Amino acid sequence: MNDPAAANPLLAPTHVLPDFAAIRPEHVEPAVRDVLAAQRRALVVAEAVAAPTLDWLRDLERINTEINRVWGPVSHLNAVLSSPPLRDAYNRCLPLVTEFSTELGQNEALYRHFGELKEQVTAAQAIERQLVKQALRDFRLGGVTLTGAARQRFREVMQELAARQATFEQNVMDSTDAFEHHETDRAALAGLPELAIERASRLAAERKLEGWLLRLDPPTFQTVMAHAESRVLRRMYYEAWTTRASDQGPHAGKWDNSALIEQILALRHEAAGLVGFRSFAEYSLATKMAESPERVIEFLRDLARRSRPVAEQELAELRAFAGQELEPWDTAFYAERLRQQKLNLAEEELRPYFPLPQVLDGLFSLFGKLFDLKVQEAAAPSVWHPTVRYFELRRRADDSLVGSCYVDLFARPNKRGGAWMDGCLSRAKLNGATQAPVAYLVCNFNAPVGDTPSLLTHSEVVTLFHEFGHGLHHLLTEIDYPSIAGINGVAWDAVELPSQFLENFTWQPEVLSTIARHYQTGAPLPQDKMEMLQRSRKFLAGLAMARQLEFALFDFRLHHEYDPKRGSRVHEILGEVRREVSVIQPPAFNRFANSFGHVFGGGYAAGYYSYKWAEVLAADAFAAFEESGVFDRSTAERFRRAILATGGSRDALDSFVDFRGRKPELDALLRQAGIAARQ
């Protein structure tokens, strides 16, 4: 009789990369049930050992590795190529995976074994000591000490929370994909770049429509807001974007996330309370560098006090330039024109100098100079979309494989917005089971049009470097335990350090000379444009800082101050935060929170402040390169060894101090943004 598993691509041998082209929705549930059953059997064996050893620890590490081998590709496909059948399969299996994860976190036998192992590992076994330390912490956060009804309720809360967060993300995707603007009057599109107009024309032709069709993908939204001369069009797009998945806007009530926000916050607060925390913010900080909610709020408010006066000056300058009061849908438009006037630099003017193939080549060349690596495109294994590419990182010295990455860079329907890196496979050497790390690098740039390659704005170049910074963190790890390899086990408010660190290179003349060349002539970015681009880094930096602080303080207060008797108070808290740190007040219909996927759908709940926290680390770390030279190999080697190679095998602050020789300093960020000089 044929083995049913043999026909299921999700159950292929462990050494084989996912066969994405062969995966169908009907494969998902049988594969998930199969792998969970197998790992439950493995757990029975692990529970029964008389005395745990390091070999026992390595075998236990394989459990999550095996589950990720099946569930990882499913989660990934649900984000990059969603469909109703796949979504249904994902939603049916999410409770199964969540239940297993909760069971694992509450496994008393394993908890006891880890406690025994803690007494055995020596100071010389620093990596294993950190792994055991984190495992014991995670058991406690997972409710291992709960009993009876409290234990059962914690499991139920985790199930409900996972389902509601997934629905939140799906609602944002659906409401984004649902919006289109069909335009037949060419004059209404005045100011939009020709490439954007050509793309809209092609999309209309595909739908057999006259004129132009514009979607709500991030590149189109950003282009309309910065360049559309029609205030009516800008307002339409602003409203569509800021009311996604809400009770307002063009699809009011259809995918409304309002009730989900209330439910998600209530469930998080309840889960935190069950395991002994006063708020979900406290629970969240158990895995972060920041020592208390008060420290986070102090950090954010300190940044706000120092940057808001600069933001107010910038807004006054912008209003004077526009000659009128500005609505939120006006600021990006006039900011772009003020930049052109002050710096003689237009974002769209730079696109021809940043063709994606050239930027990728320059990025990979940077890896070679810093870390003695070479990046080669490899014959693509099975992929989920024809535009996906596959690259291998190899050591120059001996051509040995370090790791690989899938690169999926273009916006399309049924793909989650934004940009991210995720692990396909984590590095592992576990009692004979060895695997090299493999990453997913995902962005939402404009696709090529005809013979014209994808042309990036400089801000998109920054995004690309950012995600590859995460990729390096995942791929250059030297830790053999998956749970603390790469970004795994790293304090969440330090996980953005490598990504924001790598962003800095996009402003350096030595790097711009390699990535910025005209796609038609090959001419380098003119020297005056390069100088203006560098100056633009500090252009309206106060406004940008205020915007991020608004998001961060709102997220943290929302989770720290939650009271079941009063509910979320989303609009009340957001209003208070905006009055405290923002200088641009939005209209009443704005429903920003309803599409705040980082916090309500992703992993940044009570952790959005991490972007600013890690930006301080990144600015201070990059200052070491400014002191020694941006391509200095000895400095790069220290960064690789202290930060990238160590993963979560030691505390993040210890890694930073190992590299920099001291604790991080806030002033590095303020200097980099030009705010310190204007206070």
Q: What is the CATH number of the domain that holds 49?
A: 1.20.1050.40
**Cα distance between residue 469 and residue 498, in whole Å:** 5
Catalytic residue, candidates 467, 496, 550, 615: 467
DSSP string, 232-296: HHHHHHHHHHHTTTSSSSTTTTTT--HHHHHHHHHHHHHHHHHTT-SSHHHHHHTTSS---HHHH
Residue 382 pLDDT: 94
Q: Report if residue 255 sits inside a domain.
A: no
pLDDT value for 616: 94
Are 288 and 196 found together in one domain? no
- State whether 13 and 85 are in the same domain: yes
Q: From residue 221, how far is each of 218, 234, 569 by CA, in Å?
A: 5, 9, 29
Structure tokens at 62: 């394989």
- Per the structure, the count of domains in the chain is 3
Q: Which of 103, 91, 104 is CA-nearest to residue 32?
A: 91
Q: Note whether 232 and 280 are same-domain residues.
A: no
Would you list the DSSP string of 453-501? PPB--HHHHHHHHHHHHHHHHHHS----SGGGSTTTTS-TTTTTHHHHH
What are the b/e assignments for 579-588, b being 16+ CB within 10 Å? ebbbbbebee
Give catalytic status of residue 467 as yes or no: yes
Give the residue from 141, 162, 187 where a domain finishes: 141
Cβ contacts of residue 642 below 8 Å, gap of 6+?
Answer: 655, 656, 658, 659
Does residue 489 fall inside a structural domain? no
Distance (Å, rounded) from C-alpha 221 to C-alpha 229?
14
Is residue 373 a part of any domain in this protein? no
Q: Which domain holds residue 75?
A: 4-105+107-141
CA 632-638-642 angle, 5° bins: 150
pLDDT, one tens digit per residue, over 82-127 is 999 999 999 999 999 999 999 999 999 999 999 999 999 999 999 9
Residue 261 lies inside a defined structural domain of this protein: no
State which residues of the chain have pLDDT below 70: 1-6, 14-15, 677, 679
pLDDT for res 2? 44
User: Are 131 and 11 part of one and the same domain?
Assistant: yes
Report how far Cα 502 is from the mean position of its chain's Cα atoms.
Answer: 15
Beta bridge partners, 428, equal: 435
> Could you tell me if 202 and 323 lie in one domain?
no
What is the pLDDT at residue 501? Answer: 97
Contact partners, residue 77, CB within 8 Å, separation at least 6: 20, 23, 86, 384
DSSP, res 7 = G
Domain holding 322: CATH number? 1.10.1370.10
pLDDT number for residue 6? 61
8 A C-beta contact, residue 408 and residue 441: yes
* Residues sharing a CB contact under 8 Å with residue 537, sequence separation 6 or more, in sequence order: 507, 672, 673, 674
Is residue 339 within 8 A of residue 345, CB to CB? The reply is yes
21 and 131 housed in the same domain: yes
The amino acid occupying position 43 is L
Tell whether 220 and 92 lie within a shared domain.
no
| Burial class, 12, CB count within 10 angstroms (exposed 0-12 / middle 13-18 / buried 19+) | middle
DSSP strand pairing (373-377 vs 212-215): unpaired
CA 60-64-65 angle, to 5 degrees, is 100
374: three-class secondary structure by DSSP: strand
- Asked if 307 contacts 542 with a C-beta cutoff of 8 angstroms, the reply is yes
- 582: in domain: yes
- Distance separating alpha carbons of residues 28 and 9, to the nearest angstrom: 9
The answer as to whether 402 is a domain residue is: no
CA angle 354, 371, 418 (to 5 degrees): 45
Judgement on whether residues 126 and 14 belong to the same structural domain of the protein: yes
290 and 221 within one domain = no
Burial of residue 15, with CB atoms counted within 10 A of its CB: 0-12 exposed, 13-18 middle, 19 or more buried? exposed
The whole-number pLDDT of residue 461 equals 98
For residue 139, CA distances in Å to 47, 105, 132, 133 come to: 15, 5, 10, 10
Give the separation between CA 280 and CA 270, rounded to whole angstroms.
8
Examine the domain organization and report whether 34 and 94 are in the same domain.
Answer: yes
Q: Which helix (H) or strand (E) covers residue 604, if one does?
A: none
Distances, alpha carbon 192 to alpha carbons 113, 340, 348, 461, 516, in Å = 63, 15, 9, 20, 23
Q: What is the pTM for the complete model shown?
A: 0.93
Q: Are residues 237 and 329 in the same domain?
A: no
**Rounded to whole angstroms, how far apart are CA atoms 361 and 375?**
9
* Three-class SS state of 412: coil
Instruction: Give yes or no: residues 554 and 598 share one domain.
Output: yes
Which of 25, 172, 157 has its CA nearest to residue 98?
Answer: 157
The answer to whether the CB of 304 falls within 8 A of the CB of 612 is no
**By C-alpha distance, which of 219, 261, 216 is closest to 240?**
216
Q: Is there a domain that residue 471 lies in?
A: no
| CA-based radius of gyration for the chain | 25
Query: Would 194 be classed as within a structural domain?
Result: yes
H or E segment to which residue 650 belongs: none
